[in-house]
Structure 1
Amino acid sequence: MAGSIALSELAALKHQRMKTCAELQQRSRWRPPYALVTALELQAIELPRLSNRCRRWKSSVVVAVPRPAERYRVQGVTSVVWSFPLDTVMVERQFLCTSPACTWAMFAAYLDLEELIVLADSMMRRNGRLRRTTLDELAAFLDAAESQAQTEGMRMFSGYENCRRALLMARSGTDSSMESRTRLAVMKYGLDCPQVNYPIAVRNSKALYLDLAYPEFKICVEYEGSHHAGQWLSDTRRRQAIEDEGWRYVQVTKLDIGDDESERALAERIAKHIREVTGKHVELTGRKTILQVCDARGLRRKPWYERLQFEPLLPVDRFIDHVADELDSIA
């Protein structure tokens, strides 16, 4: 519900980057596609959390070239070599960029697995004005790269395995990066993957979309960022409307995400609600790594409501087809 960079902020960053790139194009005829951080900014895609190595790219313009020999020296430009399919899109009819799928794959060498998942989510927002790609397009790009590697006898690009793992956990239709991080945080303690933006009907109002939901237990998890008093009043009314429909409400802020102790406490709050709904004991696991969260064996396990022999209160979409396809591709 909150915590994401607003559309207006992304638009401002885009126009600022467009100005920089326009100035560069006026003084140089070199036209390789913009890539990585520059490509994200030009396409108004929220940046993931960058490592120190990547942060320096924010002060320059990053471009992609297919071979080291094409890394020309141009002031203010950083060149990265990408030997795989160089899919491109044109922004505002004048800025050639690597496509979202290509940009995401390129980032795999520089991001940890969790931020790679968060970036994929950011490219597939529920807001159509911010949606840049789909899970199918991301998977298709990886398939094309793998086919090229097999045909040409090449090694796969750095981070390819993490891309495949990330597709197991990426979800389309999200609203913010902090919602994505919340989703992953609770899974590190053995909870099922909650559904994103689950729609519910409320009295005297249009449908509401819950940030994260366990509809089988009618438990919702809402991330609330910092906001002004008017937004607080709106959120209070929203919470009341959700609870009036019989949902248990778990509020999350930035204080609940980012360290082991706080994230375990959040998972315990959710588990406590599940115990109250089902009357059954729910045992959390020790903290898993994000790699363990993406482990194929864990993803194939029965959901909690089946293990507890509990009849779901509302229908559950477990993303089965998508996950099954990706598990097969990894195998």
Structure 2
Amino acid sequence: METQTYGPEYDPAGHEDGYERRLREGSPPNLLPMRLQLMELQAHEIARCLEARSRLSRDLLFGGFTALRLQGVPLPCTLPRYGDTVGSDDLCVLATRRNTRSRLQGARFYHMNIPLRIVEPMPGVRCVDVVCAWFMIARFLSLEELVTLGDCLLMRSAVHDRVTIGDFDAFVTQMEKLGKSHVLGRKRAPRGVKKARRAIALLRGNMESPQEARLSLELKKRGLPEPSVNLSIMLYDGSVVRGDLVFVEAGVVCEYDGAHHLRQLEQDRIRRAKIECSGWLYVQVTRVDMATPDARAWMARRVADALEERTGVRYPTDDVIPLEAIADHALRMSAAAWDRVA
């Protein structure tokens, strides 16, 4: 993705992860339900794009983070870290040709030499769809952030049109073929294809929040077994609850309690008591447990200890396995399975 920059640059030097800083400082949480927050941000972004369109007096096509905001997608908390390359809060506008230049304050113009899938969140506002936008920024994000963002796109409570892991796979497969078939004059596949393919191998779907997705990845990096996500659990009184991360064979439930749980402490205590009375070991994870590397290491140890208590299996959690290695292993296993079928 080539960029011409108009507007203020962002200096990433010395930047601290905004997510970790807010947790460390104990910033007040936003207690609005996430869907309402996303709809509010979506309306704000639509207004910005309509205003930009009126200033240039012509139709614009938006991509990248702008396209995701326009479709109500929860974005990585570390977005400012990429301000020098993807524009942070600047509008991301797609140019029709490589050398097309327009001057628009607060906007950056990009050219993407790939097939674009275009949607219209509202009349007069056009952007690429969420999977295409996800791929556009793949080269700039870490693998963990790319997987987290992908899981956010797969959430059941999404504001945008529902997508599946198959949609991600089909789009990246199309990108992989571009370089081989020299479509659109390309001599190689677009940048970010390898990272996107790895990310797809780690997508789970069925997540209900970005932090739930981050928690799942953290446990995976610590070598813990794969849990079921948002699994329905039958309680002793016949009622049914849904557990965030459920280790069925071990009888352990690990749940992330976000800011919205502050409004329902009594209900949460009753719910937890019922889960434990039904024979499950319960591990609670809060934003403090995810705030720093040391806190995340201790959190993983607590989950591992609960698994050991129930199964007798000791899970060492001191070493962090790179997600790239986990993804490559998953891809090899998938390829082997296809070979056996063939």
TM-score (norm 1): 0.83
Name the CA distance, whole Å, in 2 between partners of 1:13 and 1:282.
Answer: 41
Partner in structure 2 of residue 54 of structure 1: 83
Residue in 1 that maps onto 2:181: 151
> What does the per-residue CA deviation read over 1:168-215, in whole Å, with 9 as the maximum and x for residues that have no partner?
111111111111111111122211232211111235575322111111
Q: Superposition pairs for residues 255-274 of structure 1, below 5 Å?
A: 255-274=288-307
269, 275, 282: which one aligns with 2:308: 275
Residues 326 and 44 of structure 1: is their aligned pair in 2 closer, same or farther, counting only changes over 3 Å?
Answer: farther
The whole-number CA distance in structure 2 between the counterparts of 1:151 and 1:71 is 29
Is the CA contact (8 Å cut-off) linking 2:243 and 2:255 kept in structure 1? yes
Q: Which residue of 2 aligns with 1:242?
A: 275
* Structure 1 residues 131 and 236, CA gap change in structure 2 (3 angstroms): farther
Unaligned segments of structure 2, at least 5 residues = 1-29
**1:59 Cα deviation (Å)?**
3.4
Code of the aligned partner of 1:290: L
Pairing 1:5-24 to 2, within 5 Å after superposition: 6-24=34-52
1:296 aligns with 2:324: no
Instruction: Choose which of 188, 198, 201 in structure 2 pairs with 1:168.
Output: 201
Identity of aligned residues (%): 28
Distance 1:141 1:66, change over 3 A: farther
Q: Quote the residue 1:286 is aligned against.
A: 319
Letter in 2 for 1:24: A
Aligned AA (1:173): N
C-alpha spacing 1:23/1:260, structure 2 compared with 1 (3 Å): closer
1:310 counterpart residue number: none
User: What is the CA–CA distance in structure 2 between the aligned matches of 1:222 and 1:197, rounded to whole Å?
Assistant: 9
Q: Does 1:79 align with 2:109?
A: yes
| Residue 42 (str. 1) matches residue 67 (str. 2) | no
**What is the Cα deviation at residue 3 of structure 1?**
9.5
Larger mean Cα displacement after TM superposition, 245-254 or 272-281: 272-281
State the one-letter code of the partner of 1:93: P
* Secondary structure in structure 1 of the residue aligned to 2:61: coil
The alignment of Structure 1 onto Structure 2 pairs a total of residues equal to 305
Q: Aligned residue for 2:244?
A: 211
Partner of 1:194: 227
Structure-1 residue corresponding to 2:7 = none
Distance 1:326 1:175 in 2: 31
Q: Distance in 1 between matches of 2:213 and 2:32?
A: 10
- 1:86-133 CA-to-partner distances (Å, cap 9, x unmatched) read 111111233111111100100112111000000000101122545642
State which drifts further: 160-169 or 203-212.
Answer: 203-212
Question: Against the structure 1 CA distance between its residues 28 and 290, is the aligned structure 2 distance closer, same or farther, given a 3 Å change threshold?
Answer: same
Deviates more, 1:250-259 or 1:13-22: 250-259
How many Å separate the matches in 1 of 2:129 and 2:59?
15
Secondary structure of the structure 2 residue equivalent to 1:68 = coil
Cα distance change on mapping 1:52 and 1:229 into 2, 3 Å = closer
Gap change, CA 1:162 and 1:66, over 3 Å in 2: farther
Aligned to 1:318: none
Deviations 1:63-107 (A, max 9, x none): 123532124223332112211121111112331111111001001
Tell me how far 1:281 sits from its aligned partner. Answer: 3.3
**Secondary structure of the residue that 2:136 maps to in structure 1?**
helix
Distance 1:104 1:63 in 2: 15
Moved more, 253-262 or 233-242: 253-262
The answer to whether the 8 Å contact 2:165/2:205 transfers is yes
Contact 2:244 2:253 in 1 (8 A): yes
What amino acid does structure 1 have at the position aligned with 2:116?
L
Contact persistence 1:88–1:96 (CA under 8 A): yes
Superposition deviation, residue 328 in structure 1: 6.4
Amino acid across the alignment from 2:37: E
**Which piece of structure 1 moves more, 187-196 or 98-107?**
187-196
* Cα-Cα RMSD: 2.7
SS at match of 2:36: helix
For normalisation by structure 2, the TM-score amounts to 0.80
- Residue 103 (str. 1) matches residue 103 (str. 2): no
| Of 284-293 and 131-140, the range deviating more from structure 2 | 284-293
Alpha-carbon distance, 1:250 to partner: 0.7
